[in-house]
């Protein structure tokens, strides 16, 4: 069975400090992995995706994520948080089984303090 676990429901950082949002997945097949961001009452915006190419994936707004198969993790990082990064972040798995199965994590809300 496939699943996604976002290990923190809330993360709080100070502006200018690093951000780490953790995601572990479980998939019987080589998955594609995504991170999306959602600002309040808005749709979702793609930050980055992993599709079996380079394990370190760079996305928009300075975010990046590293696919670690041995740890079944796909953590999202940013070296320096900005106030505009405050939002909800979703880790998403799409198993490589054909079909359209899409599994969202429960989300991590990021707070950025001035």
Partner 1 sequence: SQTIHQWPATLVQPVGSPLSLECTVEGTSNPNLYWYRQAAGRGLQLLFYSVGIGQISSEVPQNLSASRPQDRQFILSSKKLLLSDSGFYLCAWSVPSGGPAETQYFGPGTRLLVL
Which region, judged by CB under 8 A, interacts with partner 1, from 17-25, 37-45, 58-66, 70-78?
A: 37-45
Choice between 44 and 66, CB closer to partner 1: 44
Contact track, partner 1, 49-78, x by CB under 8 A: x-x---------------------------
7: enclosing H helix or E strand: none
Choice between 85 and 88, CB closer to partner 1: 88
Nearby residues of 17 by Cβ (< 8 Å), 6 or more positions away: 80, 81
Choice between 46 and 83, CB closer to partner 1: 46
């Amino acid at each position: 069975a496939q699943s996604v676990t976002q290990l923190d429901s809330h993360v709080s950082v100070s502006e200018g400090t690093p951000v780490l949002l953790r995601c572990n997945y479980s998939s019987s097949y080589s998955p594609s992995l995504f991170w999306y961001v959602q600002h309040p009452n808005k749709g979702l915006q793609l930050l980055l995706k992993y599709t079996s190419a380079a394990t370190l994936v760079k996305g928009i707004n300075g975010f990046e994520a590293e696919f670690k198969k041995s740890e079944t993790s796909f953590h999202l990082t940013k070296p320096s948080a900005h106030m505009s990064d405050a939002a909800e972040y979703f880790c998403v798995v799409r198993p490589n089984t054909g079909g359209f199965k899409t599994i969202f994590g429960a989300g991590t809300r990021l707070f950025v303090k001035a």
